[in-house]
Chains A and B, each alone.
Chain A
Amino acid sequence: MSIQKQAYNALEAVVGSKYISDDPVICEGYRSGPGGYESGLGYERVMTKIPGAVIMPKTTEEVQQIVKICNRYKVPYVPYATGFYGPRSHCHVENELLIDLKRMNQFEIDEKHFYIVVGPGVIYSPIQQEAFNKGAYVVIGGGGAQASAIANLIGDGWSPLSHRIGLPHRRILGTELVLPDGELVKMGSLAHGDDPFWGEGPGPDLRGLLRGFTGLRGCLGIVTKMAIKTLPFQPEPLIPTGISPNTALALPQKRVKWVNYQMPSKAAQVKAMFEIGKAEIAGAVTKVPLFWRAIAKAECKEEFWEIWGKENEDTIKNFFIVRVLLIGYTSEEQMEYDENVLNDIMKELGGIPRPTKPSDESWLKNADSAGMWLMCGSYVSVDYIIESLSQATVHGEYYAELKRKYTPPLMPDYGDPGWFQSFELGHQGYSEFLVYWDQDEDTTGVDHFYLETSKMNIRERFYTSLLGPHQPLFLTGPKYGPNYHEWLLKVKNEFDPLWVCHPPVPLAHDDFVNRAEWMKPLKDWESPEKLPMPEWK
């Protein structure tokens, strides 16, 4: 399959023949699965297609021209930065144009005013190294060091470092967006002049619209440039050591140090995170799933299962770790002060220090998300919420309980409640629940679990992050708003009346449930007989 010849020729005139192709072999390389995020799930099997053509623009002007041509010829398109985000970032309809943005890799750093400006082809780890070189740092989102900073920031964009640095919307200073019809909108401080330092622009700010709560997965245009705030870091170098796969950053212990504490109870764990935030110390405070420690220890998949197989419900239930990153931002003395405060807190709460390596394997420069696939071959972060610290931790426990019903095919994890941490110095708590399976097994249970989590969140009144583009909008929308779905569809229709931009998002999951026979028994919510969107053949 390919896109109309006239449209293809017009597109070729924009970028030149070297940067566009409809060759089947080229297009096959852009297949969503079978591996990757949400791999082997029904959504990927039912909803993704191989592109009809792939184009690689270099500039914003080229993107605008491409999008205008797509509107003229009614060619559906999807923006694609690295392709890491699984089926949701790949083509969903036949004869779709995939706009690969990797050549848009412009980068500038302003050392004095602490910001960077990047294109969508720039990933996190080079940004972090450039920031380090200038005494600054950024958050490398949980999506991984290999994630496009722009793609990650308009969706998620947080990590344990968000304990101090904060949520992405505080760090996105300016955004340049090519709307679905090709019009260019500059938001935040990129809206006026070329100095993005301040982060505010004139008039209504559309950044929230673009991002929603956790992004709209490319259905409202293409971000071609972003100004991102950096924050001051400590000055000592972090030295890479080891040979792959055993590499790490050696930390200057008087300025940067990870410390682990074993807490006596869940209440003490939450209280410790709260008190650390209240004292305004530390660069990161987190509790990650216990099996991540097994991943870190294991040399291979088989060894992981050997280590993990020794755990059971009791060991998991009674494991309350708090992992803290101390950073002497201003001086060794400040670091010493922070450590003393931390020790006081832990002494009061009964925290017992546990040995840690004097190095960083993850979060400062390398967020090792690829390791998530080691154990089972397939993985997704099924949901994440940002709540109060005490609410966030309860959320994971509910997920763990629901998960029992779907294990197998989900990986046995003995009730681990997932990832839990402090955001913004304890003002918020974060919970992320991750599930793993083998895509060669029957994955119906995973598809069902995914959908059931939405119903659970509605029932238990948890505010979930992925309600928009990752769940049926007609299930979640009426419950979260109560008109969230209507509002979102009006926005979509206003900005993209032809629905050329990544159709059928934001109704893709509704479409999936309608099309997948095995999902129908779960459909107990109202939705129009025909979804309110154009049909793409």
Chain B
Amino acid sequence: MEKRKDRYDTPKKKVALDVTDLNNFTYDMSRCIKCKGCYWVEHTYMPGINFSVRCPSNYWNDFDSYGAFGKMRIGLAVAEGRMEWTDKLLEIIYADPLCGACDVGCKRNLDLEIGLTLEALRIKAVKDGAGPMPAHKKIAKNIATKHNQFGSIHDNRKKWVTKDIKVAAKADTIYFAGCSASYVNQDIAKATAKVLNAAGINFMLMEDEWCCGNTLYSVGMIDEARELAKRNVEAIKKSGAKTLVTSCAECYRMFKVDYPKMLDISTDNLGFKVVHFIEVADEAIKKGSLKPNKPVDIRFTYHDSCGVSRLCDPWTPWKGERGWMGMVSPSLKRRRGTMGLYSQTRNILNAIPGAKFVEMPRTRENAFCCGAGRGTKEAFPDLANTSAKHRLDEVKHVSAEVLVSACPWCKSNFNQAIKENGDAVKVMDISELVLASLEI
């Protein structure tokens, strides 16, 4: 083929979506244009002067360095060895719930891998001996010794299972309750199990459930997180379950996205299907096996938890080359957060009789994260608190009495902020709302 004169014959560079090497993302870091699509609510959906941003990190601290656009510049300096690890650098990298708002915002126009870059930065921080934060090390110790985030007694993990809950010894479905619902937000585990029972879905529990490792992976402790992933995946395969159900958005994201990422396989090759309670309930309502008939007299709104929305597109490993004009080959299907459980959730919420569902100004991929996730609340409680209070302002703006979410970590964080504010808002998990609408 004749060489075209109107373009360079650019040498191709190898590149992979591999977060263990920050250099894979130098292109992404160097192409940030400061449009701040990572920060503002997508302009088509911009609700007005109030509630106009979607980045908890840059909402908490106004300096550009706390936004993804600042972090891309800082990340490049780290990758090129121009910046030493300091307390301020660690704060900027870790004071961030990695909620994915920046990633979907950037992929509105530019397709830069912002989320993976931020993960790779943390992995490098750990590899360089600078990260994670002291609070994270404590969690890591808890997970290593007690197999849960909190350092609670491992044997108490299944204490949430009450007599009115039917758990099968063997079933196609396995319910992974996660640390929060097992120890702190047991109402969520109970509600999930009861709804599964009501829908006629037989489920079993893991013989010995361990933490999913969300915090480990999220703070860059990839070696520890990978070991946990291997252990959990093997245990589930061994159980014979075909479907894993979670009620926690963070566990869901871990199993569906970050486990395959760490194990260098696609989500489809995990050996079992990963679903969130939302998907199960939506399907059961559609099929008629779950009948929300009991009126629930509340005015409520819904908070799209990040792990079940913009962060949960399935994972496919990719490696290839980048050449002229930055084009990559083989073709890469970008994860843009379009496969979030947005419509499934609304199907459920609109099916609750007697209740008035009102949307907040920022919804779906534009939702403002509660600020608790991925190691943030433990290391930067003020950020988590500020974010939750800001989101609660939005709840009050639409005059909702109840805030529904789909993640126990969101629930805990909102509840704490409500307590401090003295607000009259009640927080419910979506499983609890569905349970309240069932005549059982």
- List residues of chain A with CB under 8 Å of any chain B CB: 19, 21, 23-26, 28-31, 33-37, 39, 54, 56, 82-84, 100, 102-103, 105, 107, 122-130, 133, 144-146, 240, 242-249, 300-302, 305, 361, 365-371, 373-377, 407-409, 411-412, 438-441
A19–B62 CB distance below 8 A: yes
Pick 12 A–B contacts, CB within 8 A, sort by A: A35-B30, A36-B32, A56-B62, A126-B46, A133-B48, A146-B36, A240-B44, A243-B364, A249-B44, A301-B327, A302-B332, A305-B327
Which of these, A126, A242, A412, contacts B49 with CB under 8 Å? A126
With contacts defined as CB atoms under 8 Å apart, how many contacts are there between chain A and chain B in the complex? 196
A365–B31 CB distance below 8 A: no
- Which residues on the A side are within 8 Å of B7 (C-beta)? 408, 412
**Could you tell me the dominant secondary structure of chain B's interface residues?**
loop
- Which residues on the A side are within 8 Å of B8 (C-beta)? 408-409, 441
For A436, give the chain B residue with the smallest CB separation: B325
Distance (whole angstroms) from the CB of A361 to the closest CB of chain B: 8
A30–B364 CB distance below 8 A: no
Q: State in angstroms the CA–CA spacing of A28 and B270 once bound together.
A: 41
Q: State in angstroms the CA–CA spacing of A439 and B10 once bound together.
A: 12
Q: Does B107 lie at the interface of the complex (its beta carbon under 8 Å from any beta carbon of A)?
A: yes
Q: Does B71 lie at the interface of the complex (its beta carbon under 8 Å from any beta carbon of A)?
A: yes
For B338, give the chain A residue with the smallest CB separation: A243
A29–B73 CB distance below 8 A: yes
- Which residues on the A side are within 8 Å of B104 (C-beta)? 244
Q: State in angstroms the CA–CA spacing of A247 and B108 once bound together.
A: 9
Q: State in angstroms the CA–CA spacing of A54 and B336 once bound together.
A: 33
Which of these, A33, A127, A365, A368, contacts B109 with CB under 8 Å? A368
One of B82-90, B211-219, B276-284, B421-429 at the interface = B82-90
Q: State in angstroms the CA–CA spacing of A438 and B30 once bound together.
A: 11
Given the known interface contacts A103-B62, A249-B44, A300-B334, the answer about A36 and B73 at a Cβ–Cβ threshold of 8 Å is no
The 9 closest A-B pairs by CB, nearest first: A29-B70, A29-B65, A145-B43, A366-B43, A370-B109, A412-B6, A370-B35, A125-B43, A125-B46
Distance (whole angstroms) from the CB of B374 to the closest CB of chain A: 21
Q: Does B76 lie at the interface of the complex (its beta carbon under 8 Å from any beta carbon of A)?
A: yes
Distance (whole angstroms) from the CB of B363 to the closest CB of chain A: 10
Q: State in angstroms the CA–CA spacing of A376 and B7 once bound together.
A: 12
- Which residues on the A side are within 8 Å of B31 (C-beta)? 35, 39, 373, 377
A302–B331 CB distance below 8 A: yes
Q: Does B139 lie at the interface of the complex (its beta carbon under 8 Å from any beta carbon of A)?
A: no
B48–A129 CB distance below 8 A: yes
A126–B52 CB distance below 8 A: yes
Which of these, B10, B52, B65, contacts A438 with CB under 8 Å? B10
* CB under 8 Å from chain A, chain B span 271-300: none
A245–B108 CB distance below 8 A: yes
Distance (whole angstroms) from the CB of A298 to the closest CB of chain B: 10
Distance (whole angstroms) from the CB of A26 to the closest CB of chain B: 5
Q: State in angstroms the CA–CA spacing of A138 and B384 once bound together.
A: 36
* CB under 8 Å from chain A, chain B span 62-79: 62-67, 69-74, 76-77
B326–A377 CB distance below 8 A: yes
- Which residues on the B side are within 8 Å of A126 (C-beta)? 46-49, 52
Given the known interface contacts A84-B34, A146-B35, the answer about A374 and B110 at a Cβ–Cβ threshold of 8 Å is yes
Which of these, B35, B43, B326, contacts A365 with CB under 8 Å? B43
A28–B83 CB distance below 8 A: yes
- Which residues on the A side are within 8 Å of B329 (C-beta)? 302
Which of these, B33, B45, B111, B338, contacts A240 with CB under 8 Å? B45
Given the known interface contacts A412-B7, A439-B30, the answer about A21 and B44 at a Cβ–Cβ threshold of 8 Å is no
B65–A26 CB distance below 8 A: yes
- Which residues on the B side are within 8 Å of A377 (C-beta)? 31, 325-326
Most chain A CB atoms below 10 A, which of B10, B45, B342: B45
Distance (whole angstroms) from the CB of B6 to the closest CB of chain A: 4
A301–B326 CB distance below 8 A: yes
B338–A373 CB distance below 8 A: no
Distance (whole angstroms) from the CB of A48 to the closest CB of chain B: 12
Given the known interface contacts A29-B63, A247-B45, A438-B324, the answer about A84 and B33 at a Cβ–Cβ threshold of 8 Å is yes
For B42, give the chain A residue with the smallest CB separation: A244
- Which residues on the A side are within 8 Å of B111 (C-beta)? 300-301, 374
A34–B88 CB distance below 8 A: no
Given the known interface contacts A370-B35, A438-B10, the answer about A122 and B49 at a Cβ–Cβ threshold of 8 Å is yes
Which of these, B70, B326, B337, contacts A30 with CB under 8 Å? B70
Q: State in angstroms the CA–CA spacing of A133 and B49 once bound together.
A: 11
For B30, give the chain A residue with the smallest CB separation: A34
B35–A84 CB distance below 8 A: yes
4 additional contacts, CB 8 Å, given A301-B111, A440-B10?
A125-B52, A247-B42, A249-B44, A370-B108
Q: State in angstroms the CA–CA spacing of A409 and B8 once bound together.
A: 7
Q: State in angstroms the CA–CA spacing of A377 and B29 once bound together.
A: 11
- Which residues on the A side are within 8 Å of B35 (C-beta)? 84, 144, 146, 369-370
Distance (whole angstroms) from the CB of A89 to the closest CB of chain B: 9
Distance (whole angstroms) from the CB of A136 to the closest CB of chain B: 13
Distance (whole angstroms) from the CB of A145 to the closest CB of chain B: 4
Given the known interface contacts A146-B37, A370-B33, the answer about A34 and B76 at a Cβ–Cβ threshold of 8 Å is yes
B328–A26 CB distance below 8 A: no
Distance (whole angstroms) from the CB of A43 to the closest CB of chain B: 16
B83-106 interface code vs A (CB 8 A; 1 in, 0 out): 100101100100000000000110
Distance (whole angstroms) from the CB of B410 to the closest CB of chain A: 21
Q: Does B40 lie at the interface of the complex (its beta carbon under 8 Å from any beta carbon of A)?
A: yes
Q: State in angstroms the CA–CA spacing of A19 and B63 once bound together.
A: 8
B325–A145 CB distance below 8 A: no
Q: State in angstroms the CA–CA spacing of A409 and B77 once bound together.
A: 26
For B365, give the chain A residue with the smallest CB separation: A244
- Which residues on the B side are within 8 Å of A407 (C-beta)? 6
A146–B33 CB distance below 8 A: no
For B329, give the chain A residue with the smallest CB separation: A302
- Which residues on the B side are within 8 Å of A128 (C-beta)? 46
Most chain A CB atoms below 10 A, which of B46, B66, B105, B324: B46
A36–B34 CB distance below 8 A: yes
For B323, give the chain A residue with the smallest CB separation: A438
Given the known interface contacts A34-B30, A35-B32, the answer about A26 and B327 at a Cβ–Cβ threshold of 8 Å is no
Q: State in angstroms the CA–CA spacing of A37 and B69 once bound together.
A: 14
Q: State in angstroms the CA–CA spacing of A438 and B64 once bound together.
A: 25
- Which residues on the B side are within 8 Å of A83 (C-beta)? 34, 64, 69
Q: State in angstroms the CA–CA spacing of A26 and B92 once bound together.
A: 9
Which of these, A31, A249, A302, contacts B73 with CB under 8 Å? A31
For B93, give the chain A residue with the smallest CB separation: A25
Distance (whole angstroms) from the CB of B340 to the closest CB of chain A: 8
Distance (whole angstroms) from the CB of B150 to the closest CB of chain A: 32
Distance (whole angstroms) from the CB of A103 to the closest CB of chain B: 6
- Which residues on the A side are within 8 Å of B36 (C-beta)? 82, 84, 146
For B90, give the chain A residue with the smallest CB separation: A25
Most chain A CB atoms below 10 A, which of B71, B109, B331: B109
For B63, give the chain A residue with the smallest CB separation: A26
Q: State in angstroms the CA–CA spacing of A19 and B62 once bound together.
A: 8
B336–A244 CB distance below 8 A: yes
Which of these, A24, A127, A439, contacts B83 with CB under 8 Å? A24
A146–B48 CB distance below 8 A: no
For A437, give the chain B residue with the smallest CB separation: B325
- Which residues on the B side are within 8 Å of A34 (C-beta)? 30, 76
* CB under 8 Å from chain A, chain B span 314-368: 324-329, 331-332, 334, 336-338, 340, 342, 364-366
B37–A370 CB distance below 8 A: yes
- Which residues on the B side are within 8 Å of A438 (C-beta)? 10, 324-326
For B331, give the chain A residue with the smallest CB separation: A302
Distance (whole angstroms) from the CB of B37 to the closest CB of chain A: 6
For A378, give the chain B residue with the smallest CB separation: B31
